[in-house]
């Protein structure tokens, strides 16, 4: 049930996949050095373990409670959130102009991972606030930024994202919430939104809702959608935000997991007095909201390695303590189950996938940092292309793995894993939402195949595959690295073949759609194997220099080899379903299914 932040592993992943030295060389991040990295990761890890983690089980048992339109969080949550605000953890990557610390997104991502692993339900609150900050920073007027960003950056106020309606889930263009202009330059919002994460709560003094709505005479579909800032409290004559806006929570979902995260049905304008402020231009709402969603998709992808890490720590601890059966070929004396080959395989899968998905997320975050901080336009453009390409893979592959690794954690616990007492079941239940929200993983796969592969004529995926091939080719031809080269080369070639097949101009789009999910998984496995191999190469260099923890570095090499030998080959075999087309999906009539 306890959690300990994997600081050494996170630091190593930041230095390799997170390209921290490259980021620190940029003027934007010149304050970053080794001492700062160590201090932030250590203190953030301590906060996550000592403040957020102890509330994880309690939050799952008590859950959020709705009464008379107000949501109350479990005991201790408000106090813990105030500690989060007081320590400034939400301001790490924000603009210093609004009270942020201006640190790399990659570093802030590592800290967010710790909070998520410690308490996923609680971590959703600051995660959504970070997305609101990103959207307002990019699209809001200077007046709105001055009024709201400082409070959001400090964490004194929290943010939400309001897209989904009963008839408009993934089809956002079908939404019906209306925004009508008022005489004072504000708007009146009327409608209902569902599945609003942290839409109402009692841990902060104000909630800033970002709401998609349709203006009068706006065209149908996504082109007619605008984005509005709708605060829970409006300013009184004295400037204090004490006037309650015309919005309320009218329902709270009972969910499979993340019980302490209030998932709300929000009603706006029941009395026709809900005040909203236009963010950006009218009918440009989707562009503004996607700024928030793309940020959120990386942070949701982060929930994959975070849950993997938490589940792995619990399973490893149990496997070391649980004594059962003699080891095959040994004496008749019972041993700890970690000595059994099948359990050991499961643990190695958990460890390898956790480290691979962490590297993927950090690489994605570092690309975002380069896109914002590089000093030349070509580097910024290429970094943005890499970030855009990686985002659907990060979101989908990492969260799918979070569910699968949490399931393996239950399996290692055996019957006790199915019992809530151990906490293994909670990790599995909590993880299951991540492949669904912020765009289902099927949508992410369609985005990858339908949009991201085609960016600039395929320039970005080709550059990534070329880099992978170059690094794989440069691996030593001896020892552990020799065992990695062949499977990694095969899957890199499979990704290229699949991308070329899916990108053919004459390809039936439904054939491409049919292969989208297996292609995304194959791509995710390929990137994970490549990044782990790169980490192993760095580990070997440090071992040769007798620099760092030798046991940790040898484990990095072993983990990379395990991933390449055991996880990569089945991933390369996904090329066949990628290229099989739609035919077998529709051989059975709907009525016969």
- Hey, which residues are catalytic here? 438
Angle between helices 285-321 and 105-118 (to 10 degrees): 50
209: DSSP letter? E
Q: Which DSSP helix (H) or strand (E) runs through 288? A: helix 285-321
**Opening angle at CA 426, ends 421 and 430, nearest 5:** 170
CB-CB neighbours of 115 under 10 Å: 28
Closest by CA position to 438, among listed 269, 239, 302: 302
d(CA 27, CA 104): 12
The pair of three-digit structure tokens given for residue 105, joined into one six-digit string:
């997104």
**Range 41-50 burial, b when 16+ CB lie within 10 A, else e:** beebbebbbe
The per-residue DSSP string of 99-165 comes to: T-----HHHHHHHHHHHHHH-HHHHHHHHHHHHHHHHHHHHS-HHHIIIIIHHHHHTSEEEEEE--B
d(CA 294, CA 130): 11
d(CA 116, CA 108): 12
d(CA 101, CA 284): 30
Give yes or no for a contact between 417 and 409, defined as CB atoms under 8 angstroms apart.
yes
- Break the chain down into helix, strand, coil percent, rounded to 5: 60, 15, 25
The pair of three-digit structure tokens given for residue 242, joined into one six-digit string:
């004490």
Question: Which residue is listed with tokens 């400090």?
Answer: 154
Angle between helices 341-373 and 7-15 (to 10 degrees): 50
Cβ neighbours for 183, distance < 8 A, ≥ 6 positions apart: none
Give yes or no for a contact between 176 and 191, defined as CB atoms under 8 angstroms apart.
yes
3-state secondary structure at position 207: strand
d(CA 197, CA 262): 6
Give yes or no for a contact between 268 and 189, defined as CB atoms under 8 angstroms apart.
yes
d(CA 263, CA 243): 24
d(CA 229, CA 231): 6
3-state secondary structure at position 413: helix
């Amino acid at each position: 049930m306890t959690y300990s932040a994997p600081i050494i592993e996170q630091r190593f992943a930041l230095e390799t996949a997170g390209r921290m030295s490259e980021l620190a060389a940029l003027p934007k991040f010149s304050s970053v050095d080794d001492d700062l990295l160590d201090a932030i990761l250590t203190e953030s890890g301590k906060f996550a373990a000592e403040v957020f983690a102890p509330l994880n089980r309690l939050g799952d048992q008590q859950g959020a409670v709705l009464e008379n339109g107000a949501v109350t969080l479990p005991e201790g949550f408000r106090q813990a959130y105030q500690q989060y605000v007081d320590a400034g953890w939400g301001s790490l990557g924000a603009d210093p102009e609004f009270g942020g610390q201006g640190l790399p997104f990659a570093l802030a991502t590592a800290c967010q991972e710790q909070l998520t692993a410690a308490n996923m339900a609680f971590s959703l609150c600051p995660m959504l606030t970070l997305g609101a900050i990103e959207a307002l920073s990019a699209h809001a007027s200077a007046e709105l930024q001055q009024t709201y960003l400082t409070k959001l950056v400090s964490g004194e106020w929290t943010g939400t994202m309001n897209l989904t309606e009963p008839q408009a889930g993934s089809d956002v263009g079908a939404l019906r919430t209306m925004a009508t202009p008022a005489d004072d330059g504000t708007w009146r919002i009327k409608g209902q939104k569902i599945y609003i994460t942290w839409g109402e709560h009692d841990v902060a003094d104000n909630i800033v809702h970002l709401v998609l709505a349709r203006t009068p005479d706006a065209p149908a579909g996504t082109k007619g959608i605008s984005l509005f800032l709708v605060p829970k409290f409006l300013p009184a004559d004295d400037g204090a935000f004490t006037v309650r806006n015309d919005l309320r929570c009218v329902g709270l979902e009972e969910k499979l997991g993340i019980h302490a995260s209030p998932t709300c049905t929000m009603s706006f304008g029941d009395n026709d007095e809900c005040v909203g402020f236009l963010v950006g231009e009218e009918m440009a709402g989707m562009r503004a909201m996607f700024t928030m969603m793309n940020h959120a998709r990386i942070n949701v992808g982060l929930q994959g390695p975070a849950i993997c890490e938490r589940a792995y720590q619990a399973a490893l601890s149990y496997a070391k303590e649980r004594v059962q059966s003699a080891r095959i070929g040994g004496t008749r004396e019972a041993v700890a189950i970690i000595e059994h080959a099948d359990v050991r395989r499961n643990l190695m899968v958990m460890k390898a996938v956790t480290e691979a998905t962490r590297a993927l997320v950090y690489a994605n975050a570092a690309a975002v940092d380069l896109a914002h901080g590089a000093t030349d336009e070509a580097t910024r453009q290429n970094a943005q292309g890499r970030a855009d390409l990686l985002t659907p893979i990060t979101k989908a592959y990492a969260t799918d793995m979070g569910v699968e690794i949490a399931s393996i954690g239950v399996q290692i616990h055996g019957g006790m894993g199915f019992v809530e007492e151990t906490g293994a079941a909670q990790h599995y239940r909590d993880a299951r939402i991540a492949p669904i929200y912020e765009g289902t993983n099927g949508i992410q796969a369609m985005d990858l195949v339908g949009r991201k592969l085609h960016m600039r004529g395929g320039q970005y995926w080709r550059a990534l595959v070329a880099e992978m091939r170059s690094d794989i080719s440069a691996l030593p031809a001896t020892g552990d690295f020799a065992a990695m080269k062949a499977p990694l080369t095969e899957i890199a070639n499979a990704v290229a073949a699949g991308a070329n097949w899916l990108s053919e101009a004459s390809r039936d789009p439904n054939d491409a759609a049919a292969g989208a999910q297996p292609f995304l998984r194959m791509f995710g496995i390929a990137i994970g194997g490549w990044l782990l191999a790169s980490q192993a190469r760095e580990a070997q260099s440090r071992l040769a220099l007798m620099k760092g923890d030798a046991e940790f570095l040898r484990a990095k090499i072993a983990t990379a080899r395990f991933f390449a030998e055991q996880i990569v080959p089945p991933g390369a075999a996904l090329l066949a379903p990628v290229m099989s087309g739609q035919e077998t999906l529709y051989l059975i009539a709907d009525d016969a299914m």
